[in-house]
Each structure stands twice: as C-alpha cells, then as structure tokens.
Chain A
C-alpha cells in the first residue's frame, strides 16, 4: 500500500489539478454540511443559544458541560444507546449473513426471496415503526395473538421498561439486515468456486467449508458491515420517537433523541450542542478503537 503510493507520487503531481477538480464537489459538500455545522456545534456548546432568541446568545463557558454531568436522563440515554448497539450489531450481522447464505443459491425464483428480505430496507423507518407498534400491541396485536394461541400473554412489550428496548432491537435488526445481506451476498459470490471444489475433493464437510473458506473470505466485508451498523446504530432515534417517546421510564431514551428534544423541542440549542459534542467524542473514540482492532486483524 505505502510503496505503491510513493511510486505514484510523481504522476499525481501532474494530474493534481484534474484530481482536485474531481474531488472538489465532494470536499465542498463535506465542508458545507459537515465541517461548518460541526464547527458551529463546538462554538454553540459554550453558549446559552436559544433557537428562538439568537440575539440574546451569550458565552457561558463550561456551564453546559457541567450541567451535563448532572443530567440523569442524558446519562440514562448513553447507557440505553450502548445497550442497543451491543445487542443490535451481532444480531443484525448474524441475520444478514444467515440470509445471505440462504439466498446464495441458484434456485428458481431465488430473486423473489432476495427481494423479500431486502424490502424492509427500502421502507421508511417511520412506517416500519408504526407497523411494529401494531405487531407488539397487547390488544389484538399480531405477536400477542400468536402467543395467545399458545396460551401465553398478552404481554405489554412496549409498555414494560424491561422489554421495550429489546423490541426496538428486534425490529431494527429486521429492518436493517436486508441491506447488509446484499453486501454479504456480493462477498459470497466473490469467493472463487474452485476453493470449494478443492475442499470437497479433500473431503471437507459443509461446516468445515463454511468456517475455513466462507468466513475468512468474508472477513473484510464483515468488518465493513459491522462498522456500518455500529455507526448507524448509535444514531437511533426514529424507532423510540415513533413507538415509545423514549419511555417507559426513559428505558428507550437515546442520545440522539435527547439531543433532538433539547435542541428543537425545548429550543436549548446551546445545551443540545454540548450533548452533540459529547456524542461525537463517544462515537469517534469507538470508531478509532474499532479501526485499530480491525486493521490489526487484517495484518494477521
């Protein structure tokens, strides 16, 4: 990787302007929609900026951050977000991989299945959340009707602080896994068939083929997929907003939801910015750690 760069260095300098022109739109957008807002957020987090009273904004130093340390709901939302990430990432990766293995066959009509598993991804999260609220409903809800026919329930899934987050984990994994399934699928189809043939000749069982050919072959894809899921999982907001409003008893309050509520519902942009900054640091730290771990495992 590094040696390749050195060789190309000379050539690049001649093509510098073309190259720059090509990346300019992306960089501009990045500056406009990422770096500037990020800079503004840092600035705002040290003020008492109220969205309705921009004229009265004052510098308040670390006041917002000191307030954050006393904010029990924000602390709870950090814990909840981590619980969600820890539960949803393995579940979603496994689901996606499982589905990819299932649909990676040359059967008649397999594309119908691929489409069916992929479909939830294209649905709006709002729609999916409302749909699942019906499914979880204790009165005549689909899930409780099923359990009822087995003589169980009814359970108030979303109205129980112990199960509410779990419900959101399940529906999120269901909604998201179709997309990652497609990525896994393309990875599966990239694994050369002769490896399997050779394994079969050597007498490897299907399970051995899976662990010694399929999994190593998907390593890079798995890293990409899990990174992807982690980052999007941290941004959980729509499902609790639609289904539980962060309740019951703050059991499903997440960081981004709390930031949204503080900034746009209570108009406290300054305080909300401080929350956002803390959130950024958390996600950045985790991504860096993840990067370290995965780059190490790639070198092995």
Chain B
C-alpha cells in the first residue's frame, strides 16, 4: 500500500516537472495579450499600474489623474489604471511586478520605488526616458529626483512627490532649556545636536527620538546623509563595492555617534510609539510624513530644523527619494510616445501639487513648490530648502537592497552591544557573500 502511494507520488512529481518544463508562461492570465490595441474611438490603449489602492487619498489622486489624462487625450490615448496593494516591504505590488517581468505581463507604465531604479533598469524592466523630455522640462525637477532616476548615465524615472528628513523639535521645551534652534541655511553639527539633546534629556523625556528600533530602510534614510556629509557613502561610485565605504571611517563615525546617543540615554534604542508627539522626547529625527501624524495629536508646539551635518568641516546633506513613474521594458515601440506622455502627465506640476493635497508629501518640482504656501513659510520651508539645495539620493545600485539591509542590521547589532567596526566589517562580509563580490 505504502509503496504504491510512493510510486504514485513519484509519478505525479515527474508529470508535474514535465508540465512545468514545457508549460512556461502559458498559465499567466494577468497579461495584456487579449487586450485590443486600440479602443473603439480609435485612441491608443495604454496600461498603467500604481502601488496604492483607491482606499488612500494618494490612490484616489492617481485615479483622478488618469481620468484627467483620458479626457485631455480623448481620441488619441486611453490609459487603463490598475491599483495594486502593497503588503509589507516586498509584498503584493512588488510580487506582481516581478511575476510580470517573467511572464511578459508588464503594463506600459508603472510606479517604481526610487531605490529599485538600478535593479529594474539593469534587468531591462524599465527603459530610458530622457529622449522624451526637454532639458527645460527636466530642469524644473528637484536635482535629487533626476539623480535618483539616473542609472548608467541615462534617466529612467520621474516622480511627482519627494520626501525629506529633518529634526522636529518641541518649541516649548527648547525655550525652557534656552536652546536656539538651527536655521535652514545653518544646520547643526552632530556635536551641537548632542549638546542640545543632553540639555533636553530629563527623567521622563528623551532628548531626541530617532526611530532606532526600525530595522529597515528607515536606517539608511535617516543616517546615510551623515555619511554623505563626510563625503563618503555606503557603496562605491559604481554601486558595486562596500569595502572601505560601508565599513569606512565615515560610517564608523556615524554608528559610533548613534551608539553614544543611545548609551548616554539621550535617545532611546527602543523608543516608545509616538514619544515626540506625546511629549516624551524633545526632538524627533523623522520625515516629511510627520506633520500629518502631529496633526492627530495636536497639542505640541513644534518647529522644524534641517538635517544636521557631521562636523563644521563637512557639508550639509539631506535625504530624499520616493516612488516614481517609469516606462516598462515590455512597452511596444509604437506605444512609447504615448507612455511618455502619460509619465509626463502623472508627474506634472499639477500632479505634484495634487499629491501634496493628498498625502502632504513635498513635490518633485520647483514650479509646484512655488504654488504650495506651506513650503514657502515656516516650518516646512526647511524641506523645500533641503530638496532644492542639499538633498542627495541613496546609491543607485543593483545591489542596493543588500547594502541597505546590511546597514540596518549593523545599526541594530551596534545598539545591542556589538563593536562598531566589527558590526560594519561583518556587514561588508555579508554583502560580499550575498552578492558574490570577491
């Protein structure tokens, strides 16, 4: 009996493997194969995927933009939007894109997270778009948007929104401690920040909260600027090597500072949720999404300072980067013109301005900044200043995901007792192992 079952199982497995061998992508239903090339009114059909569903304001904004696009280009182009939910940091949406890369089911245009541009470009899943945009058009975008979308000398993506990180501070606590906040042009050095944090730290209040318990992309987003501030990075210029960068002196300096802040008790290694919003921390190193969060709490009198620089000899650098639009590598030649038009529409000044209304994120272009009052006055003018003058994108590298993950792991290891240099050396070792770098 048992033998029979086993042999049947075996036969089944073999049959399955044969099926799988020749079946290839035949089961892929999500493709665009059966789609009519042109709509009834003779306009060209385009497909577009975005990573937000219409349950969020951002998702609704995408939907209304596509609707406007179809009205504007009626008779010429018609875009069909699919809104796909993300689940976690690599769920739903990313899975669907990855599957579509394999089975040829990519749409003509889709959203790409800024840090994955290199990977997708290298794999041919997105194509260069520089030829569809004039120099004047591109000049209006924040420099960091162009930097983030450029791989191997060619521009692949443009976005409607950007993001930035600064130090939110409790004005009342600053006043009580007699601390003068930094201005947007003159950021603090780490030493000045440490001194302020020391003064502000009391038994019930941390000097600053820096999301040190986040074990993900947040770590790079918050702390890479301090490494870049010293003229270094976590990856070499070509985006391939970490030795001497991820474990270089600049990174060692930054992680040592983070560890000191936690050891001295100025910042918590395991911050409680919303500690700044609840008055349990005097400052918060966090991003452009924070004002929306603060609104929910209401009674904090807050201000915003720029990202600190490493020391008086280093330059001011700030974080940036967000989701962008790209033309797929599977877009048919005759559709590319229309796809580029769609990207242009989705990243227009109006689109960027609407994005601010939807999710409060800073726009990707100067003309939109000019039209949004909030960014031309305190406190949010700091973000505009940073995105115009000091923002540097994260490395555009095919191995970025590995390097970033190893950096986050190193920060965590340092905060749980490992020596800084040891943790960073281990990060480099793991990076080399994972990416087969010798």
Contact = CB atoms under 8 A, between A and B. Distances in A.
A138 B270 contact: yes
Interface string A53-74: 1100000000000000011010
A52 B216 CA distance: 22
A159 B269 contact: yes
Contacts of B21: 43
B1 A245 contact: no
Contact of A38 (B13, B120, B415, B430): B13
Interface stretch (A108-116, A171-179, A262-270): A262-270
Interface stretch (B161-169, B335-343, B401-409): B401-409
A51 B401 CA distance: 14
B98 A266 contact: no
Given A52-B119, A139-B270, A266 B16 contact: no
A40 interface: yes
B425 to A, nearest CB: 13
B268 interface: yes
A134 interface: yes
Nearest to B206: A139
A137 B412 contact: no
A185 interface: no
A38 B15 CA distance: 12
Contact of B434 (A36, A53, A266): A266
Contacts of B120: 52
B125 interface: yes
Contact of B270 (A39, A40, A137): A137
A268 B215 contact: no
Interface of B is mostly: helix
B123 A53 contact: yes
Contacts of A160: 416
A204 interface: no
A159 B415 contact: yes
Interface centre among B122, B269, B412 (most CB of A within 10 A): B412
Contacts of A54: 101-102
Contact of A39 (B16, B401, B416): B16
A130 to B, nearest CB: 10
B95 interface: yes
Nearest to B436: A67
Interface in B351-371: none
A161 interface: yes
A29 to B, nearest CB: 12
A140 B270 CA distance: 11
A187 interface: no
A140 B12 contact: no
A31 interface: yes
Contacts of A51: 98, 101-102
B5 to A, nearest CB: 12
B70 interface: no
Contacts of B376: none
Contact of B90 (A2, A31, A244, A264): A264
Given A31-B16, A35-B16, A266 B402 contact: yes
Nearest to A268: B434
A178 to B, nearest CB: 25
A158 interface: yes
Nearest to B9: A35
A140 to B, nearest CB: 5
Contacts of A158: 270
A248 interface: yes
B413 A247 contact: yes
Interface residues of B, number: 48
Nearest to B104: A54
A70 B268 CA distance: 36
A35 B12 contact: yes
B433 interface: yes
B275 interface: yes
Interface in A111-137: 134, 137
A247 B409 contact: yes
B201 to A, nearest CB: 13
Interface in B391-434: 401-402, 405, 408-409, 412-413, 415-418, 430, 433-434
A159 B13 CA distance: 44
Given A248-B412, A248-B413, A266-B401, A52 B101 contact: yes
Contacts of B16: 31, 35-36, 38-39
Contact of A249 (B19, B272, B416): B416
B271 interface: yes
A128 B432 CA distance: 35
B13 A265 contact: no
A47 to B, nearest CB: 13
Interface in B73-129: 88-90, 94-95, 98, 101-102, 119-120, 122-125
15 contacts: A2-B1, A38-B13, A39-B13, A39-B16, A50-B123, A73-B430, A137-B272, A139-B270, A139-B271, A161-B416, A161-B417, A245-B408, A246-B409, A247-B416, A267-B119
Interface of B: 1, 12-13, 15-17, 19-21, 88-90, 94-95, 98, 101-102, 119-120, 122-125, 213, 215-216, 268-273, 275, 280, 401-402, 405, 408-409, 412-413, 415-418, 430, 433-434
Given A39-B16, A161-B417, A247-B413, 20 more contacts: A38-B16, A39-B13, A39-B20, A43-B20, A52-B119, A52-B125, A137-B272, A139-B270, A156-B269, A160-B416, A241-B88, A244-B215, A247-B409, A248-B413, A248-B416, A249-B416, A264-B94, A264-B95, A265-B90, A265-B405
